[in-house]
Structure 1
Amino acid sequence: MRIAIVTESFLPQVNGVTNTVRHTLDHLLDLGHQAMVIAPGPGPTTYRSAPVVRVRSVGLPGYRSFSVGLPDSAVERSLREFRPDLVHLASPFALGVTGLRAAERLGLPTVAIYQTDIAGFARHYGIRADAAISKWVGRIHRRVDRTLVPSTSAHEQLAALGVSNLHMWRRGVSLDLFSPARRSQELHDSWTQGSPGSLVIGYVGRLAPEKQVSRLLEISSVPGTRLVVVGDGPARSWLAKHLPDATFTGMLRGEELAQAFASLDVFVHTGESETFCQTIQEAQASGVPVVAPAVGGPLDLVTPGRTGLLFKPGEAGGLRRCVETLAFDEDLRAAVAREGITSVAQRSWATVVDELIDVHYAAALHRVAGAAA
């Protein structure tokens, strides 16, 4: 099979969309399929054996390092030359629309992955156009052959916009990478120097306004704990100024990231606009109890009291109380960690991408072939 992936983000950008595309590509190529990527901004022009076509882009206001794809004739030209069996639209909004129009003109089936709450993302950069953005997102997904959503809340969100043919497709987790076995007591101790015996509370992810990382201030003074922040982004300098006692590791990848995850005692996620929340799965696979907001994607990933704790975003002090509950109860931490590992044990990327190919790609191909007949 020949698959063209039109994505709103790809390497060197590191985020949920990029990571999902990368894992999808890896498994497609491992199975012997052929793939091509069309992506915005500068970056590598190949990924393993797959060509990466770079198109015109502009930096996002307030986050210039994030490239937004612009309409470009190279999209249709590349699709015409590659002759894919199907076009995979990764979190379509800007470049994805160009890819969708080109696929329609070429008579190609489309599968769209809904992954980003665009309205929520834009709001944190001062763009308040929820109604217009939602209308645009709904229009995109009503035109594709099949839309895949990562969570119950995402399904409800798109259904309310009149989108039909919605199907659940959750994210995988690299079970060969994220594991309790990666825990390093030496690394843990380096984070707690000056306060031996302290617990390490950690955040992992982009340091950006849409992640609401300013909430970390709420937990920076929990007695007997030290705060570690893993990641980078436009909010890092603000956080460093307001969290002088926290440890900032910068962006980590691969085994370094897995070791950092497993060496935490509690993982905290702060943002409310997650359609899924991949870092929750990675923490659970690492044997680390999770605290997350009771909204969006985390509602499907965290069973309160069993696989983590949820706080109400609008409740003053809710995040801190959840962190304190885990910090002061060693037995609860251990029980939640065990259940978290069990909850993700069957979610390998290979299993998830096999489902994408065998169920969702196959259905879109069959639908278009049936319409043509």
Structure 2
Amino acid sequence: MRVAIVTESFLPQVNGVTNSVLRVLEHLEQRGDEAMVLAPDADSGAVPPFVSGAPVVELGSIGFPGYPDVRVVVGKKWRTERTLAAFEPDVVHLASPFILGWRGMLAAERMGLPTVAVYQTEVPGYASRYGLGHFEPLLWKRVKDLHEKATLNLVPSTATMRQLAAHGIPNMRLWGRGVDTTSFHPRFRDEGWRRAVGGDKEVLVGYVGRLAAEKQVEALSVLKDLPNVRLVVVGDGPEREALHHLLPTAHFTGLLRGQELARAMASLDVFVHPGELETFGQTLQEAHASGVPVVAPAAGGPLDIVRHSHDGWLYAPGDHKALRRHVADLVGDERKRLAFGAAARERAESRTWHDICEELVHHYEDAIRVHERAGSAEV
């Protein structure tokens, strides 16, 4: 199979979209398939020319005002179609499509290629968090226009599927995300790191992810006076300085990757993710793989990941008193923390990237068949 992946985000930026694309590329290479990536370029020029044997074609882009990590593709639209035509893909995978993805969709449509659009980022909801709520209806229209054209639409959670159905999105299939249970593992818990970070505090409660408005990390302020607790914030982003002022006693690690990230995750006692716009929530799965219980809002992706009162707690969105109450419950009961953590690890072991990517290949095959049947019907 020849798969062209058109992605809104790619290396050197590390986020949920990039991570998923990297795992898919690894899997396609292992299967012996051929892949190509179309992605925005980067100011640093650090986009690799090949990843897992797949050539990466950079397209000119600029940073989004106020959030330069988000790249907006500019320049001639014909290059997307010319690149796809030269590769001759069997299917076009659109990763979190919006701007570049729209170009990719139109190019695939003109060329008569089947498309699999992977919905991953709730752009309309983000607009409200950045004070641009008046654009939300227009943004939902773009989402609908784009996904109506796709042969298949893959969505990461049941809550997201319900939301998109309410907006009239057709042809949806559920496709979750895998987790690397080798890289994220309880064995990476490091007591020396815990002492260095926690000081005289015995319990580490942490968040891992982008420090951006849509993640609502400021909600951690309800936890800053919990006794015997040190807040740990792992990540970077435009809200970092404001969060430093809001959480003066928290430990900020900055952006961590690889073994450093795995060590930090496994060394936490409780993982908290307060964002209410998560279509999935990959860091929640990574916490579970690390044997760490999760506290998150009962909205979006966490509804499919966290089993309430089994491997974590879910609270009503916006109810930060409940957030504090659930964290305090786990902070004060080590046996419960350990039991929740063991259940979390067991659940994560059933969600490997190999199985998830094999599901994706079947979706590719279905999209090709659907497209062929539609072509035959037109004839």
Q: Quick check: TM above 0.5?
A: yes
1:296 aligns with 2:317: no
Matched letter for residue 224 of structure 1 = N
Matched residue, 1:148: 154
1:330 aligns with 2:330: no
Matched residue, 1:162: 168
Matched residue, 1:234: 238
**Alignment equivalent of 1:192, drawn from 173, 176, 198:** 198
Q: Which runs of 5+ in 2 are unaligned?
A: none
2: CA distance, partners of 1:314 / 1:364: 39
Deviations 1:2-50 (A, max 9, x none): 1000011000111111111111111111211111111113223322321
Q: Are the counterparts in 1 of residues 3 and 89 from structure 2 also a CA contact under 8 Å?
A: yes
Matched letter for residue 118 of structure 1 = V
Matched letter for residue 35 of structure 1 = A
2: CA distance, partners of 1:228 / 1:140: 39
Q: Which runs of 5+ in 1 are unaligned?
A: none
1:16 aligns with 2:16: yes
1: CA distance, partners of 2:86 / 2:318: 51
Matched residue, 1:97: 102
Matched residue, 2:367: 364
For normalisation by structure 2, the TM-score amounts to: 0.95
Most deviating of 153-162 and 3-12:
153-162
Give, in angstroms, the shift of residue 163 of structure 1: 1.6
Deviations 1:94-137 (A, max 9, x none): 11010000001111110010101111122222221221111211
Matched residue, 1:349: 353
Matched residue, 1:40: 40
2: CA distance, partners of 1:29 / 1:150: 23
1: CA distance, partners of 2:239 / 2:333: 32
**Alignment equivalent of 1:76, drawn from 74, 78, 81:** 81
Q: Are the counterparts in 1 of residues 222 and 320 from structure 2 also a CA contact under 8 Å?
A: no
Matched residue, 2:131: 126
1:317 aligns with 2:321: yes
Matched residue, 1:31: 31
User: Which secondary structure state, in structure 1, belongs to the residue aligned with residue 169 of structure 2?
Assistant: coil
Give, in angstroms, the shift of residue 209 of structure 1: 0.6
Matched letter for residue 363 of structure 1 = D
CA-atom RMSD in angstroms: 1.2
1: CA distance, partners of 2:95 / 2:231: 34
User: Structure 2 matches for 1:170-249, cutoff 5 A?
Assistant: 170-193=176-199, 195-196=200-201, 198-249=202-253
> Judging changes above 3 Å, is the alpha-carbon distance between structure 1 residues 266 and 52 closer, same or farther for their aligned structure 2 residues?
same
Deviations 1:217-263 (A, max 9, x none): 11122111101111111111111122222111111111111111100
Matched letter for residue 132 of structure 1 = L
Give, in angstroms, the shift of residue 214 of structure 1: 1.0
Give, in angstroms, the shift of residue 371 of structure 1: 2.5
Give, in angstroms, the shift of residue 316 of structure 1: 4.3
Matched letter for residue 369 of structure 2 = H
Q: Are the counterparts in 1 of residues 219 and 320 from structure 2 also a CA contact under 8 Å?
A: no
2: CA distance, partners of 1:130 / 1:372: 35
Runs of 4+ in 1 over 3 A off after TM superposition: none
Deviations 1:249-298 (A, max 9, x none): 11111111111110000000011000010011000010001100111111
User: Which secondary structure state, in structure 1, belongs to the residue aligned with residue 355 of structure 2?
Assistant: helix
User: Structure 2 matches for 1:269-284, cutoff 5 A?
Assistant: 269-284=273-288
